Structure 1
Amino acid sequence: MAPGVADVQRENPRVPPGGTTLWVRRFEASSPKAPRLICLPHAGGSASFYLPMARDLAPVADVLAVQYPGRQDRRHEPHIEDLHELADQTFAALEPELDRPVVLFGHSMGAILAFEIARRIEAAGGVPPSRLFVSGRRAPGTHRDERVHQRDDDALIAELQSLSGTDDRALGNEEIMRMSMPSIRSDYKAAETYRYRPGPPLSSPISVLIGDDDVKATIDEARRWSEHTHAECTVRVFEGGHFYLLQHKTEVLADIRAELLAV
């Protein structure tokens, strides 16, 4: 449990029961009646990436962030190198949290994971997510032959630097980067070896968010998310690269907040 969560729960009735778990992190208090926003990190990312989003959206949502095995406080657990297996385990961990309207947000690898979790929710007969926000990722059926996970550590670090998504302070600390390599490499393998398995389109609407200079997904590849839902699919293009959302935090949060308020 995150430091201080137990004390906050005892003193503040706005904190839903449960606090945090091994898989699910709740950083901020929220109303028991608020819709739930579930956030899925990118390859090499952790739940703490969404801490600023949780703080900003706490007034209108119960924000949960998923912590994958093999990083931070879960660093001694085996990594999961198959995205379908990761989706199965994440869905199982999230099932107790699906007792109210849910919006899913995933960036990069997390976007595909959000999609696969939505499929599992519908397959299990659950209420479909109110919306999927898929960020910085091409549609599930668009495959690229990428093998970054097979490169050596120096090349993998160079890849991270080129995407500008890792804090320069961490990149400048070789010890931290070397410690993170196993989880980063495993996530890259999971994302790069993912293959879409044909199935019925989702019932949930999809909002696609992408940078106009994203080397990981073209705008045409992003538009193909429309093939994976019976509902509406919108594409919003921002100026920037793969981690455009760091520069456009205000606009991204406004889109998510509007959806949560509508729910």
Structure 2
Amino acid sequence: MKLERYYIKIWQHIINTSESNSNEMIQLFMLPYAGGDHASFNKILPYLNKNIEPVTIEYSGRGNRRKETFIKEYQKFLDDISVTINVLRRPDCPYALLGYSLGSAVVFDLLSKHRILGVPKHAFFCARGSLKVKTESQSYHLLSDTEFIKVIKDLGGIDDRILSNPRFLDIFMRPIKADYSIWGQYTHPDNNAKIPCNMSIIYSPQDPLSDNIEDWCEMTEKESHFYEIGNNHFFILQHYKELADIINRELESYEI
């Protein structure tokens, strides 16, 4: 029932914000970083082309789904997201996907395992390096609270005002740690899986979580385009207009 209410809210948003005929629209499903919620992409929304219908996917336990429990198993996490996207997919218009950090791994899994109805026009992978090998970041959830907070702060993901309020900091960090536990369970398929559409890989060269970024070239049957932005993992917080420009430019190349 809670998830059904979430669907209703999203559908109301889609109906209220769609200004063009559905045949001219393209849905853009956006999956946030660890700890992200419906507001994670708010800064880029005003800069997206009017024919792009943005839909931010909310993970269980945060934002509009905050009364739900965190999902602790990766497969159930993936199932929950695939059901959500398939329910919200409009059959009368094309779609694209964008993942940021954790969201990038999930988008790749959804597409390579054919969990979404229809073939997307494009996929955007932001702030995530190679998925082929286990990385140090997949053990971050095992760190002590102090060490974990320092890691997230070094990535550029915590405002100093949050750090100065221990009670709010604890609330802020809970979903982040839950999502890093999910990320720790991710295993890249060993069947040379590829996605069936063109993709854009957007990253900061200074981001330690974007190591071996060139591995993405091998993960699609189509074209891959690389873009460098900013100087840390959370380039979306300062370079949102540049990110929106890339999305607009890539999606403009498709005849809707």
Structure-2-length-normalised TM-score: 0.84
CA contact (8 A) 2:99 2:124 kept: yes
Residue in 2 aligned with 1:43?
A: 34
Distance 1:128 1:77 in 2: 30
What amino acid is the match of 2:160? D
1:171 to 155, 163, 174: 163
- Deviations along 1:115-172, one digit per CA (max 9) or x if unpaired, are 122234x356x32111111011013213214421012222222122111123333333
CA contact (8 A) 1:106 1:134 kept: yes
Helix, strand or coil at the partner of 2:39: helix
Superposed, 1:68-83 pairs within 5 Å as 68-83=59-74
1:152 to 141, 144, 150: 144
Residue in 2 aligned with 1:186?
A: 178
Q: Is there any run of 5+ residues in structure 2 with no aligned partner, and where? A: 1-6
2:87 to 96, 103, 112: 96
Distance 1:25 1:140 in 2: 33
The alpha-carbon distance between structure 1 residues 58 and 170, as it changes in their structure 2 partners (threshold 3 A), is: farther
Distance 1:252 1:52 in 2: 10
Structure-1-length-normalised TM-score: 0.82
Superposed, 1:246-257 pairs within 5 Å as 246-257=237-248
Distance 2:66 2:223 in 1: 39
Residue in 2 aligned with 1:20?
A: 10
Residue in 1 aligned with 2:3?
A: none
What amino acid is the match of 1:157? I
Greater mean deviation of Cα atoms: 43-52 or 25-34:
25-34
What amino acid is the match of 1:117? L
Residue 119 in structure 1 maps to residue 107 in structure 2: no
Helix, strand or coil at the partner of 1:191: helix
Corresponding residue pairs, total: 241
1:29 to 17, 35, 60: 17
Residue in 2 aligned with 1:213?
A: 206
Distance 2:101 2:249 in 1: 22
Greater mean deviation of Cα atoms: 190-199 or 167-176:
167-176
Residue 243 in structure 1 maps to residue 234 in structure 2: yes
- Deviations along 1:67-119, one digit per CA (max 9) or x if unpaired, are 11112343332212333321221011111333221111111001111112223
Superposed, 1:49-64 pairs within 5 Å as 49-57=40-48, 59-64=50-55
What amino acid is the match of 1:56? Y
What RMSD over aligned residues (CA atoms) do the two structures have, in Å? 2.4
What amino acid is the match of 2:17? A
Higher relative contact order (Cα pairs below 8 Å, separated by 6+ residues)? 2
